[in-house]
Amino acid sequence: MNLTFGTDGVRGRAHEELTVPWVSKLARAAARVLGADTFVIGADGRESGPAFVQALCGGFAAEGVKVWNLGVVPTPAIAYVAAQENIAGAMVSASHNGYQDNGIKFFAPGGRKLTDAMQAEIEALLVGAALVGSGKAAEPASERPDLIDGWVASLAASLQGRRLDGMSVVIDCANGAASEIAPRVLRDLGCTVTAINNLPNGRNINADCGSTHPAQLREVVQLAGAAVGLAFDGDADRVLAVDAAGEFVDGDQLIGIFAVDLHERGMLTDDTVVITVMTNLGFRIAMRERGIRVHETAVGDRYVLEALEEHGWALGGEQSGHVIFRNLATTGDGLLTGLQLLDALQRARRPLSALAGETMTRLPQVLENVRVVGDAAALLPVLADEIAAVEADLGDSGRVLVRPSGTEPLLRVMVEAASGDAAQAAVDRLIAATHELLRREGTR
């Protein structure tokens, strides 16, 4: 088994790449590296989840570790309990992938995602000598769905006593972990809620729905006359939005809205926001014009959090909708982010379209993927001259980013430019160069 940690845990085809024996072994390695006597675990509802939950329980038991099982819950609920109890956590989820895939995300004691060093240590144990049981006796896993109540209470508390009465919202639950809890939380806070894709059957998670497929949400928002649409991914650690006219609002725009709001209230520490290399150039320009500094990290919300914690900053996130409010959570939380957005709209007494439009102007961005066999990162040095030539042609009005995916065998090619045609032409040029390189490599 050659699975390794990507940008968000370990992920692969269920029962083919990711197998029950391997997950059990992974649990044992994680228990030794993280050193916690208790793990809190959960799953996102896909049909392979129960088998891998049991595999985790078996591996942890072999190491004498206690397990609290929350059942089907959003990933941030696991992080919250791990933080509150100072224990470790594990989530069985493949995030936005289809039901055929699954994965494991870990949280270190305190509810934070693993560092690169922790991940490397776990991987070393997996490929090294056989893991031998500790000889300790572990209790059977405890079913603890009640532990989610503390997380739910923290969501309401994040509004500092304010409510969302009168707000009309459509939520797309992606047939995943948010399907039961998200409608309930929003209604309890006063929202009028229309929920779609909230009937999970184990196989329909992320199927033409959720944050990666917002078309249905856009339609329902307009039909319902709602003020806002919120689209979660399978494990609900991120969210994207739709305004009343059905226009898409991505993570860059959401982070921009939050950054400006916190800045104007004197709550944006050091007037700095943390983003990743994928963030649109228009965001950088808009923040500079408002006197807000931008700190850039590699792709992955764990890198965003590392920067936030190192410098004591308050806000960061990714274009994909992972948003971290460091003073409120230890990881991206789609439901928390949605509540903060609705609260900002209530306080501003303005529609989402106005706030999103005023916050930033997105430069046309084209992102396409090239499927590869082998190490996608190895292609980058060979493509360096072509990338440099494209960057020179774009000048200051554009940006190029070519990087390997952290979760799939893909090379991601992204270009931003003053016009969509210019961005597409640059992407086409880079993809053609990549295909030619792959063709030459394949004939050797």
Nearest to 74 by CA among 33, 43, 109: 43
Domain layout of the chain by residue ranges: 10-146, 158-362, 365-442
Among positive and negative, which fits the CA dihedral 67, 72, 78, 80?
negative
The gap from C-alpha 390 to its chain's centroid, in whole angstroms, comes to 30
Distant-in-sequence, close-in-space partners of 65: CB < 8 Å, separation ≥ 6: 31, 36, 37, 38, 39, 138
Q: Tell me the pTM.
A: 0.89
Told to judge if 95 belongs to the known catalytic residues of this protein, a careful annotator would answer yes
Per-residue pLDDT of the chain (444 residues; tens, 9 = 90+): 568 888 789 999 999 999 999 999 999 999 999 999 999 999 999 999 999 999 999 999 999 999 999 999 999 999 999 999 999 999 999 999 999 999 999 999 999 999 999 999 999 999 875 666 555 555 678 888 899 999 999 999 999 999 999 999 999 999 999 999 999 999 999 999 999 999 999 999 999 999 999 999 999 999 999 999 999 999 999 999 999 999 999 999 999 999 999 999 999 999 999 999 989 999 999 999 999 999 999 988 889 999 999 999 999 999 999 999 999 999 999 999 999 999 999 999 999 999 999 999 989 989 999 988 878 888 899 899 999 999 999 988 899 999 888 767 889 999 999 899 999 999 999 999 999 888 887 643
DSSP labels for 34-81? H--SEEEEEE---TTHHHHHHHHHHHHHHTT-EEEEEEE--HHHHHHH
Catalytic residue from among 24, 93, 95, 158: 95
Which is it for strands 228-232 and 168-172: parallel, antiparallel or unpaired? Answer: parallel
Q: Which helix (H) or strand (E) holds 184?
A: helix 181-188
Helices then strands, counting H and E runs in the chain, come out as 14, 19
Instruction: Name 193's bridge partners.
Output: 169
CB 268 within 8 A of CB 292: yes
Query: Rounded distance, CA 327 to CA 232, Å?
Result: 22
Q: Which CATH class is domain 365-442?
A: alpha beta
CATH of region 10-146: 3.40.120.10
Q: Give SS3 for 42.
A: strand
Nearest to 194 by CA among 216, 171, 222: 171
Q: Which helix (H) or strand (E) holds 273?
A: strand 272-276
Query: Rounded distance, CA 284 to CA 97, Å?
Result: 29
The domains spanning 158-362 and 365-442 adopt the same CATH topology: no
Classify 190 in phi/psi space as left (phi over 0), alpha (psi -120 to 50) or beta: left
Question: Which tokens hold the place of 308?
Answer: 């936030």
CA dihedral 238, 243, 247, 251 (to 10 degrees): -30
Query: Rounded distance, CA 70 to CA 374, Å?
Result: 37
Nearest to 90 by CA among 35, 138, 31: 31
Q: Which CATH class is domain 158-362?
A: alpha beta
